[in-house]
Each structure stands twice: as C-alpha cells, then as structure tokens.
Structure 1
Amino acid sequence: MIKKIIALLLTTVLVLTLAVGCTSKTGKVTIGMITDTGGLGDQSFNDSAWEGLGRAEKELGIERKVLESESADDYLPNLTSFAEEKMDLIIGVGYLFDKSMETASKQFPDQKFAIIDAVVNAPNVASLTFKEEEGSFLVGVIAGLATKTNKIGFIGGMKSPLIQKFEYGFRAGIKAVNPNAEVFVNYADSFEDAAKGKEIALVQHEKGADIIYHAAGGVGVGLIEAAKEKGFWAIGVDKDQSALAPKNVLCSMIKRADNATYYVAKAIKEGKFEGKVYTYGLKEEGVDYSDKAGNLTKELKDAAEKYKKAIIEGKIVVPKTKEEFEKFEAPKL
C-alpha cells in the first residue's frame, strides 16, 4: 500500500513538473535588444529602436531588456548571452551586426533574431531595412531651397553602402531643386565621436556651408553643438533632433526604427514571425522628415510634400549609389 502511495505521489510530481515545463513559455514575451557602439542616449538610432520596444511593452505587454555594446567585439558575446537566456526575440541594432548575427543564427537555430539595417539570409532572422535615400531626398529638397550661400554640407559616420544611401539621396534632393549648389562631404569614421562631428562641421561652415546634414549617430551631436555656437542650420537624422537646439535644427530625416522594432515585436507576440527581409520607405512610413521646432516655412513644406508624393507614386526613383546619382535627372513637377 505504501509503495502504491509513493508511486502515485511520484507520478503526480512528474505530471506537475511536465505541466510547468509546458506552460513556462506561455507567459510574458521577452525581447532583448543589443545596441551598437553608440549605445542608449545617442539621441538617434539606438534610442529610436528602444522606444519602439517601449511602445510594445506598453501596448502589447512584452518585457524588454537591453545590452549595450562598448565595441564591435561585444556583438557576438551579447547575442550569445541573450540566446542562452532563451529570449523570444533578440534584436541587433545596426548593419555592423551582420557577421555576428550570421554566426549566432547558426549556433542557435531555434532562436529568433532580427537585425536592423542589414540582410542576413537565415530562416530565423528578420532583416529590417529602410529606404534611407527617400527620406534624405526630402531633406535635400529642403536644404537646396533654404540655403542662402549655395553651399551645403553632409557628414557621414563610417563610410559604407548604407550611409552612402543617405548621402546620395540627400545630394539628389538638392540637385532636383538647386543643381548649382555645392555640397561638401566628409566621413567621421565613427558613430560616437561627437568631437569629430563638431570639428568637421566647423570646417564645412568656414567653407561657407550654412546647412549641414548628418547620418552619423552620436557624431551628429557635435554637428548640432557647432550649429548652435555658430548660428547655422543642422539637419538631424533618425529621430527628430530639434530638442537638442530648437533654433538651429532646421528639420530632421526620421528613420522609423521604432516602427520596425514595434512591428517585429507584434509579430512575435502574435506568432507571426518570419525570417525574411522587410523594407520600409516613404510608402510604408519607414522614413520621412520632421519639424517639431516649427522652423520650416510653408513653402519648404509644400515643396517637400510635392516630392514626397512623387516618390510614393513612383514618378521619382531616388538614387542610393554614386553611379545612380550621376545618372539621376529629376523630373519637372
């Protein structure tokens, strides 16, 4: 009789253990985000991606966690750390994650990943990409019409095909409305060196640039500081950056990393995750321009809206490479 009771108790414990094991993943969805070296507080891309998960936390009830990368050497260890915690999804912010993400996706084939700004061809990786050239074109139109000196600057972070999409889209927008404007282009070889950004901006301004656009993460904070000190216009990127200098940020090219992280979080929550490439342009509300400080005139906004409509309708295909830019001829609208 005692043996039967013991056996029954053991069976009950086993059943309860299995039940707990089977239901442990039915609780809160946990999503881990890993920043690039710019980290949180960059007032740009990492912050935007994190805000999207904040919205998912509030509206969808997910839990978000973050690991900040001090250097590129941290990318794979951080991916591995979150994978070992069995996150429902791990997001790597930035194209520099591409090699590490490829490695991690093979090491953890059952783990779901997402990468922003790069394409990783793996069934467990969602690649979240943007048409940065389209949003950059619009702020190029604004800069080309607003300049008083006919000299405009562009500051890139690390030179790559991705950042050149910003450059050539911007230059195409200028070319469409002011083909005689001179454009200064410099790369900082960094996404976090604000001092370098300020130095480049001051040099471009001394050469006559009265409007400077950046696609350089934290480097752009230095540009905005220079604009504030010297009294010229800066154009922000990724988020509306007017709060950093309301009287000196003409507008911003917003890249909706927040929408992208929210959408992929929603897909995970609803069990609809797919390992494929997602592309967000003007039509998909992935990029746009923003002017929270109210520095744009009606004429500048009307011009930007006119070109925005033309791009969405397919009347203008914005160049994203040097070769495409050199062949680009803007249609008359």
Structure 2
Amino acid sequence: GIEQAGQEFGEKFDFELYNYTTDDENYEDFLRSVAQKEYDLIIAAGNMFIEEQVRTAADYPRTKFAALDSAVPGLTEESNITCLTFKENEGSFLMGAAAALKSKNGKVGFIGGMQLPVIDKFKAGYIAAAKYIDPDIEVFENYIEDNSSGFSNPDKGKEIATQQIKAGADVIFQAAGGSGAGIIEAASLQKIFVIGSDSDQTLIVPDAQKPFVLTSMIKRCDLAVYETIKSLVNQELKGGCREFDLRMFGVGYAENDYNKSLIEEIKPRLEEIKAKIISGEIKVPTN
C-alpha cells in the first residue's frame, strides 16, 4: 500500500518505516518516540496495543493516527484516530464454505491464536458457512493460548492441529499468526487441507507444504493503507472507523498457480456465495 501510494503521490509525501519488536522498549514509549518527530500521519499495525495508541494520540492532537486492524469505540470525524478494520467474518464465511465443500469426512477444524473479538469474527464466519453448506458438519474449535503467546507458538499449534486431525478433521482453518506454521506443518504431514489467514500463505510455506494449502483468507491491509494515505494527500482523512469488506475487495480468498486446481471445482460456488453476501442475501454473523 505504501509502495503504491509512493508511486502515485511520490512528490507529495515521504515516509519512514519503523519495526517494533518486544525486545525493544515498551510499545507506548516506542510509539511516543515516533510521534515526537511530528509526522502528519502514523500508521500503527496490530490490535494488541490499541490502548497505548489511544493514549499517545491524545497527547499528539496535531498528528493523525491510523490504527490498522484495530477498533476504537466512540470516535468521531474530528478524532485524530482513524480505525482501519476488516470484515473478517465475510472472508471467513468463504473459507468455511470451501472447507465444507472439500471435506470428505464431514469434520473440519478452526484454530485461533487466542480469544479476541477479531479472532471470534474469523471463527463465526467460518462455522456459519460450514453449517450453511452442510448442516450436519462437525466443527472442532480451539484456541492455542489465553494470551498473545498463542500467536507465536507453532509447536502448540501443531499439537492442537494433530489432535483435530486424529478426531477426523480433514480441513483446518487457522487464524493463529506465527503459530500457523505448526498447524500447516501438521496438516501437510497428515495430508489434509489447511486454510491460511491474512495473507496468501501458499506463497510463504515450504514447497512440500504448498499442495495442502487449500486457500487463504486474504485481508487487504495494503488497500487500507493506500486509501488512508490517499485521503491524507487529498486532505480528506477523517477520524472514525473505516471497514473494508467483500464489496470493497477488502477481504477475499487467495487463488494462485499452486491452488488453482484445488479450488477449481468449488470456485463457482464460492463466487455465488460471495455475491449473496455482497447483496445482503446472506447475513454473516460476527460472533
């Protein structure tokens, strides 16, 4: 998104990229050190530190903050925070449909990193769609941990995925961040399908695992970032929340050279369901 904006508005803005890791100072101190440089806009990714972002934004009212993948209640157009959120439940509905359509056992699984409202949206859409396709389908659901370590524990992810596979799941949808690597590994070892989240995970796994990644629920963070920078450049950026959905191509399913043959037979059904979600004929739950 930044690259696209750079190509289009290169003469109108400059940017710097900062990477925060837990080895650094605490997040709020880190964010404040960036805010002190008086940027017009700071885009902060992730929903784990939203309270720190809100406090920092309050102390730097002349800087606009875009909270990527985070929701803040009570914002107005005059706020200096813009939330960039996604309808993960809509994209995940397509994943649940894909899982149910490809399942031979009538049993599928969901594994989340930890219980958060955003992860519950993934789960809700997925389960609703699986039941939409097959009312009798069995859906296993697990969270890896009850804290943020659930997004960085691939060994635990592999263990839980193996348990679901032993119980009969032949498709697993993971929304577990770094733990997803273990889930994908377990699925490939047992030769069942796995569905990725956020980005096209077929493109980042080892070659031996690619045949088992059915698809991924794509979340277009690049689109959200580009649209935010575009609004800033055009002096149209307002506070509040902006949600990116199927209609806006903010979420969707991955298709690439590796999985094209895997989803070829179910793609017409996925497109039919997608159209019904966009039209409002299918109402997708959020929890």
TM-score under structure 2 normalisation? 0.89
The answer to which of 78-87 and 293-302 deviates more is 293-302
Q: Which moved more, 1:145-154 or 1:55-64?
A: 55-64
Partner of 1:4: none
Residues in 1 aligned to 2:144 and 2:261: alpha-carbon distance in whole angstroms: 27
Task: Extract structure 1 runs of 4+ deviating beyond 4 A.
Answer: none
Q: Deviations over 1:260-287 (max 9, x none)?
A: 1111122222222211210111011110
What aligned pairs does 1:267-306 form with structure 2 within 5 A after superposition? Answer: 267-292=231-256, 293=258, 294-306=260-272
- Residue number among 68, 75, 81 corresponding to 2:27 in the alignment: 75
Does 2:40 correspond to 1:84? no
Secondary structure of 2:286's aligned partner: coil
What is the rounded CA distance, in whole Å, between the counterparts of 1:194 and 1:64 in structure 2?
31
1:66 aligns with 18
Is the alpha carbon distance of 1:223 and 1:59 closer, same or farther for their aligned partners in structure 2, counting shifts above 3 Å? farther
The one of 71, 78, 85 aligned to 1:129? 85
Q: Give the match for residue 191 of structure 1.
A: 151
Q: Paired residue for 2:96?
A: 140
Question: What residue in structure 2 maps to residue 256 of structure 1?
Answer: 220
Contact residue 53 and residue 64 of structure 1 kept, 8 A: no
Gaps of 5+ in 1: 1-51, 322-333
Q: Which structure 2 segments of 5+ residues have no match?
A: none
Q: 2:284 aligns with which of 318, 323, 326?
A: 318
1:17 alignment partner in structure 2: none
Structure 2 Cα separation of the partners of residues 312 and 57 of structure 1? 31
Select the structure with the greater relative contact order (CA < 8 A; seq sep ≥ 6): 2
Q: How does 1:211-230 map to 2 (within 5 A)?
A: 211-230=171-190
The residue type paired with residue 268 of structure 2 is D
Aligned pair partner of 1:308 in 249, 274, 282 = 274
Q: SS of the residue aligned with 2:111?
A: strand
- Of residues 48, 52, 56 in structure 1, which corresponds to 2:5? 56
The CA deviation at 1:71 is 7.1
CA contact (8 A) 1:131 1:282 kept: yes
2:120 aligns with: 164
SS in 1 for 2:16: strand
1:236 and 1:251 in contact (8 A); partners too? yes
The number of equivalent residue pairs is 270
Superposed CA deviations along residues 162-192 of structure 1, whole A, max 9, x for unmatched, are 1101001000110111111111101112222
Query: What letter matches 2:85 in structure 1?
Result: T
Q: What code does the residue aligned with 2:121 have?
A: K
Paired with 2:158 and 2:266, the residues of 1 have a C-alpha distance of: 27
What letter matches 1:68 in structure 2? Y
Contact kept, 8 Å, 2:35 with 2:42, in 1: the verdict is yes
Q: Provide the rounded CA distance (Å) in 2 between the counterparts of 1:225 and 1:237.
A: 15
Q: Give the alignment's Cα RMSD to 1 decimal.
A: 1.7
Does the 8 Å contact 1:251/1:295 carry over to 2? no
C-alpha contact (below 8 Å) 2:214/2:263 kept by paired residues = no
Q: Work out the CA distance in 2 between the residues paired with 1:142 and 1:236.
A: 12
* Cα offset, 1:231, TM superposition: 1.3
**What SS does structure 1 have at the residue aligned with 2:262?**
coil
C-alpha displacement of 1:147: 0.3
Q: Kindly state the Cα deviation for residue 72 of structure 1 after the two structures are TM-superposed.
A: 10
SS at match of 1:95: coil
Distance 1:254 1:297 in 2: 15
Post-superposition offset of 1:73: 7.2
Post-superposition shift, 1:215? Answer: 1.1
Deviations 1:100-136 (A, max 9, x none): 1110111111111011232232610011111110000
- Matched letter for residue 319 of structure 1: P
- Which deviations, in whole Å up to 9, do the C-alpha atoms of 1:123-167 show, x marking residues without a partner? 100111111100000111111110011111101112012110100
Aligned residue type for 1:57: G
Larger radius of gyration: 1
TM-score of the pair, normalised by structure 1: 0.77
Q: Is the 8 A contact 1:54 1:64 kept in 2?
A: no
The Cα of 1:210 is off from its aligned counterpart by 0.9
Whole-Å separation in 2 of the counterparts to 1:197 and 1:287: 24
2:45 equivalent in structure 1: 93
Residues 40, 62 of structure 2: 8 Å contact kept: no
